[in-house]
Structure formats: structure tokens, C-alpha cells
Amino acid sequence: MDRRDGTDRAYDMVLFGATGFVGELTARYLAAHAPATCRWALAGRSLDKLERLRERLAAVEPRCAGLPLLPADAADPEAMRELAESARVVATTVGPYTWYGEPLVAACAEAGTDYLDLCGEPEFADLMYVRHDARARETGARIVHACGFDSVPHDLGVYFTVRQLPRDVPLRIDGFVRSNAFFSGGTFASALTAMGRGRQMVRAAQERRLHEPRLVGRRARAPLGAPRFSRETGAWALPLPTLDARIVRRSAAALPQYGPDFRYRQYAAVRTLPMALGGAAAAGAGVALAQVPAVRRWLMERYEPGRGPDAERRARSWFSVRFVGEGGGRRVFTEVSGGDPGYDETAKILAESALCVAFDPLPKTAGQVTTAVAMGDALLERLTRAGIRFRIADSR
């Protein structure tokens, strides 16, 4: 691995997509929490919007008045190359990633630049592995997808839970997700894109399996569970076919401490049976509607990326992911919880992940890696200090 020397880079970190809704929240978090020595810049398609954002940041944090601005279009490979070569770390909020993400991934893999995003799109993650993992390993670039609510609370929540269980034994962990929050326009667009690309998603997963090395002597699985009533949480559990469980499985495959035979299942936790039935029906309808391009476009236009709830509504939002882990005769109940998942906490997680990769001593990893593999304890400590709670609820 020949990680390119980043000491000659202009910036420690670049935030791409800074003028979007979650992008601006991330910029605000960095303005308040990045160390004074951090050399960072704002990047996006519109210089005018970047200038207005810098003015808003400087009104709160005067030191931001001189923040460098980097106009760049996600569809321009040359602009993405220049962006990647200017920084040690690039964090991007520009989605849906299936449409807009690959040029930046390719540029970072080629330049040996660490890349982080908010991708919750399985197809994109699989295609980026097939097309760019090998080159990223050669240059030393870390390609880390899903550095927001998708999928850090789940990935690090399982990582935290595994630490409470015996080593070298089969482990079984179930995660139960609850929240009262709204999706962002960008998240809604990404979800619709994924739901409308079922065949492409299956093909990408199959192609990834042809390229991924087989796990020898160990097993790591993330099967889709069946709907059921969970006595452990007192709620109805609906299986969630999201990227989160796949990320957890990849962490388990890469880290020996997950044991010789690991299984993870993820559910939405719903308090009442009518709500569970209604949620399942709504999800099925959403998948069906997303198959019709005209309907999909109409839905996206109703709730465009770049929009989201105001600060008062976000302040009332919360999330909780409860984990039930078993192994070696021990059973443990853990929880990861925090505030508004789709916006405030996602911005916090992305910003802290970028700071972690830029400044913390980390394992020597490269290629497409998960947050647990790339950052592990360092990110867990950062997020705990930032107010996201990781706790042991009970053990037996």
C-alpha cells in the first residue's frame, strides 16, 4: 500500500455538497468543532451559493470568513480529480450517489485520498467496490460509504455490542430501530432511486460477490428476518432491507473479534400491530410506485433534495437502535440513541468521521472499508463525546 503523502495537499479536508441541506448542517458543525489547525474548504457546484454559505458561517464563527471555496460539478471528472488531489480527506453529501457519485470515488481512489459519503444505496456501494476498490488499495485511499445515520449507529452499535460478548464463540445480534423523524429530500430521492432499481441492485450485488474474496474458516451473515413480535423490546419487528445490515456483515467479515459464526438481523420496531401492518403496506406501495419512472419523478419533485424540516422540528426528533446480543451463554442488551437522525445527527456523524480520518491514529486500512473497520474505537469515542449515547442496558 503506497498511501500518497498528504503533507503537500492544500487541505486536510474538503466538504463537497456544502450548500445542500445536510451539507450546510455539516459545515456548521465543522465551523464549531473543527480544530483551529484544520485546513478545510467548502466545495459545491455554485460559487454564489458557496459565498452566501460562508457569510452565514462567518456570522457565527468569524474565523470562517476566510474559508476557501472550491466550485466543482459532480459530473465533471476533471473537476473531481482536482478536488481529490487538493485534500487528504473528501466528505460528500451529493446524492443520489447512483447518479452523481462515481466520478468523485474514482478520483479519490486514483489520488490516494480518503473518501466519505452518506450513501444508503446498496447498488452504488457494490458498484464502487467492483470498479474502484482495487485501485484504492494500491494508492492507500479509504473509501468509506454510509457515514451518517446510514449506517454508523448500526455498524458501531453492533461493534459496541460485540465488545460486551465472549470472544471466539458464535454470536447472534438483532437490531431494532425506532425514530420519530422525517427524511430529508435527498434521502427521499436516494430511497426512491434504490426502490426503482431492483434489477440493477441485484446485478450489482451478484457482480460484487464474484470479486469479493471468500471468507475462509469463519462465517458472517445478515439474513432478512421474518416479521414477528419481539418480547425483548415489546414491539412488533419488521425486517429492514437496508444497506445497514450489509455494512454490519462486512465489518463482521473483516474483524476476527466478531467470532467464527456471526449473524445479524435488523428490524424496524413498531409499538402496535395496526401500525406494523400500515407500515408494511406503505413500504410495499412505495416500492410498487417507484417502479414507474413518471411516478418516481413526480414524487421526487414534490420533495426535492436540499429541503428539510426547520430547527424546531428537528429538535423534537430522536432515534434509538436497541441491540440484543447472544453468545457463549451470555446475553446483552445495548442501545445507541440520539437526536434528529436524518439531519442533525447525520451531519454530526459525517463531520466527526471526517475529522477522525483526518487526525486520529487509525488502523492501516485501504480500499472500500466500513466505519467499524476504518475507525472503530476512535469514532466510537468521538461520537460519545459529541452526545450520541452508546450504553449497556442489561446483561445476563
218-272 pLDDT per residue, tens = 999 999 988 999 988 888 999 988 899 999 999 999 999 999 999 999 999 987 5
DSSP state letters, 17-54: TTTSHHHHHHHHHHHHHS-TT--EEEEES-HHHHHHHH
Q: How confident is the model at residue 10 (pLDDT cuts 50, 70, 90)?
A: very high
Q: Span 139-156, mean pLDDT?
A: 97
CB 243 within 8 A of CB 120: yes
pLDDT at residue 277 greater than cutoff 80: no
Q: Look up cell 474548504; give the residue.
A: 41
Q: Around Cβ 152, how many Cβ atoms within 10 Å?
A: 31
User: What is the bridge-based pairing of β-strands 228-230 and 219-221?
Assistant: unpaired
Bridge partners of 357, per DSSP, are none
pLDDT at residue 2 greater than cutoff 80: no
Q: How many CA atoms lie within 13 A of 370 on its CB side?
A: 28
CB 243 within 8 A of CB 125: yes
Pairwise CA distance, residues 174 & 196, whole Å:
28
Q: Which residues contact 41 (CB under 8 A, 6 or more apart)?
A: 10, 11, 13, 14, 15, 67, 68, 69, 70, 86, 87
Q: How confident is the model at residue 396 (pLDDT cuts 50, 70, 90)?
A: confident
236: three-class secondary structure by DSSP: strand
pLDDT (0 to 100) of residue 270: 87
Lowest mean pLDDT among 30-39, 174-183, 212-221, 260-269: 174-183
Residue 311 vs residue 289, higher pLDDT:
311
What fold does the segment set 6-149+345-380 form as a domain? Answer: Rossmann fold (3.40.50)
pLDDT at residue 8 greater than cutoff 90: no
Q: Look up cell 420519530; give the residue.
A: 180
Q: Span 297-301, mean pLDDT?
A: 52
pLDDT (0 to 100) of residue 200: 87
42-88 residue pLDDT tens: 999 999 999 999 999 999 999 999 999 999 999 999 999 999 999 99
All cell numbers assigned to 169: 464463540
Upstream peptide bond of 151 is cis (omega within 30 degrees of 0): yes
* Radius of gyration of the CA atoms of the chain, in A: 20
Residue 99 vs residue 275, higher pLDDT:
99
